[in-house]
Amino acid sequence: MNITLRVWRQKGRDDEGRMVTYKLTDVSPDMSFLEMLDVLNEKLTLESEEPVAFDHDCREGICGACGVVIDGEAHGPERTTTCQLHMRSFNDGDTITVEPWRASAFPVVKDLVVDRGAFDRIIQAGGYVSAPTGTAPDAHANPIPKPDADRAFDAATCIGCGACVAACPNASSMLFTAAKVTHLGMLPQGQPERASRVVQMVNQQDAEDFGGCTNIGECAAVCPKGIPLDTISQLNQDLLGSLGKGIG
Partner 1 sequence: MAVTGAILVLYLIAHMYGNLKVFSGQEAFDGYAHNLRVLGTPLLPEHGFLWLARLILLASVLIHIYAAVSLWLRARRARPASQRYQVTKRVHRTYSSYTMRWGGVLIALFTIFHILHLTVNVISPGGASDSPYERLVNGFQPEFWFVTLFYVAAVIAVGFHLRHGIWSGLATLGVNQANRQPKMNAVATGLSLILTVGFLLPPLAVTFGLVS
**String marking each residue 37-56 x if it binds ligand FES according to CB under 6 A:** -------------------x
Sign of the dihedral through C-alpha 148, 154, 156, 160: negative
Binds partner 1 by CB under 8 A, chosen from 171, 181, 186, 202: 171
CA distance 59 to 195: 36
User: Of the listed pieces 63-71, 132-140, 150-158, 197-205, which binds ligand FES according to CB under 6 A?
Assistant: 63-71
Query: Both ends of the chain: CA-CA distance in Å?
Result: 56
| Residue 39 main-chain phi, psi, to 5 deg | -60, -40
201: which residues sit within 8 A by CB, 6+ positions away? Answer: 122, 123, 125, 126, 127, 177, 180, 181
Q: Which does 223 bind (CB under 5 to 8 A by kind): ligand SF4, partner 1, ligand FES, none?
A: ligand SF4
Q: Which residues of 86-96 are buried (b: 16+ CB within 10 A; e: fewer)?
A: bbeebeeeeeb
Binds partner 1 by CB under 8 A, chosen from 63, 129, 216, 247: 216
Cβ atoms 130, 192 nearer than 8 A: yes
What is the closest distance, in whole angstroms, from the C-beta atom of residue 138 to partner 1 in the complex?
32
Q: Helix, strand, or coil here: 11?
A: coil
User: Of the listed pieces 43-51, 54-62, 140-148, 223-231, which binds ligand SF4 according to CB under 6 A?
Assistant: 223-231
Give DSSP secondary structure letters for 125-145.
Answer: HH-------SSPPPTTSS---
If the CB atoms of residues 38 and 78 are measured against ligand SF4, the closer one turns out to be 78
Note whether 76 binds ligand SF4 by CB under 6 A. Answer: no
CA distance 107 to 64: 17
Note whether 223 binds ligand SF4 by CB under 6 A. Answer: yes
Q: Which positions touch ligand FES (CB under 6 A)?
A: 56-59, 61-66, 81-83
Q: Which positions touch ligand SF4 (CB under 6 A)?
A: 158-164, 175-176, 179, 223-225, 227
Q: Which positions touch partner 1 (CB under 8 A)?
A: 6, 8, 19, 69, 71-73, 97, 99, 102-105, 167, 169-172, 209-212, 214-218, 220-222, 228-230, 232-234, 236-237, 240
